[in-house]
C-alpha cells in the first residue's frame, strides 16, 4: 500500500514530495516534504482509492541532542480499512523564542485542531495557519515545553513549590 501511495504522490507533486520511506517492522512511514504537507493531506483525503478520511493522531518527536524535531501523522481510511503514516522532519535551533514551524492541517481534518494544540503545548511545535493555537493542558503562562528532552523542570510556579 505504501508503495502505491508513494507512486501517487510522486505523480501528483513530483519526486521531492516523498523524501524517503522509513521501513518499520509494523508499518512503513512516508517522510514527506513539509512545504507540501497540507496539499498531500488534501490529496490523500480526497483521492479515489486513498480516501484517508480520519486523522487518528498527530505526535511530535524530539531527536535531542540533534537540532531536529518531527511531526507524525497517523491516517486511516475507514471505507478502505487502510492506514498510512506520514512524517515531516523539521530542523530547529531549539530556542524557546524560535519554535519549529509546520503548516496546520486543521483545514483538512477538524481533529487536527486538538492534536496540533497538544503538540504545541507539550513539544513547542508551532502550526502556522491554525485557527486557535494556544495551550491545551498547561497554564497559558507556563515556561517551556515539558515533553522536550532538554526540558528543565521548574521548581516553583507562582511562588508555589512544585517538586
Ordered by start, the domain boundaries in the chain are: 2-161
Helix axes 2-13, 37-46, angle to 10 degrees: 120
Query: What is the tens place of the pLDDT at every residue in 99-152?
Result: 999 999 999 999 999 999 999 999 999 999 999 999 999 999 999 999 999 999
Contact 104, 112 (CB under 8 A): yes
The pLDDT of residue 69 is above 80: yes
| Residue 37: predicted pLDDT | 98
Which superfamily does 2-161 belong to?
NADH:ubiquinone oxidoreductase Nqo5 subunit (3.30.460.80)
Amino acid at each position: 500500500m505504501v508503495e502505491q501511495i508513494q507512486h501517487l504522490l510522486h505523480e501528483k507533486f513530483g519526486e521531492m514530495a516523498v523524501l524517503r520511506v522509513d521501513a518499520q517492522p509494523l508499518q512503513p512511514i512516508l517522510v514527506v516534504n513539509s512545504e507540501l504537507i497540507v496539499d498531500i493531506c488534501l490529496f490523500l483525503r480526497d483521492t479515489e482509492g486513498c480516501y484517508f478520511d480520519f486523522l487518528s493522531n498527530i505526535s511530535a518527536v524530539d531527536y535531542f541532542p540533534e537540532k531536529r524535531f518531527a511531526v507524525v501523522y497517523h491516517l486511516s481510511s475507514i471505507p478502505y480499512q487502510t492506514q498510512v503514516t506520514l512524517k515531516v522532519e523539521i530542523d530547529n535551533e531549539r530556542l524557546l523564542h524560535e519554535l519549529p514551524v509546520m503548516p496546520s492541517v486543521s483545514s483538512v481534518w477538524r481533529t487536527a485542531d486538538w492534536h496540533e494544540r497538544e503538540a504545541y503545548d507539550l513539544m513547542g511545535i508551532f502550526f502556522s495557519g491554525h485557527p486557535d493555537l494556544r495551550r491545551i493542558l498547561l497554564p497559558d503562562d507556563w515556561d517551556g515545553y515539558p515533553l522536550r528532552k532538554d526540558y528543565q523542570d521548574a521548581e516553583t510556579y507562582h511562588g508555589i513549590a512544585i517538586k
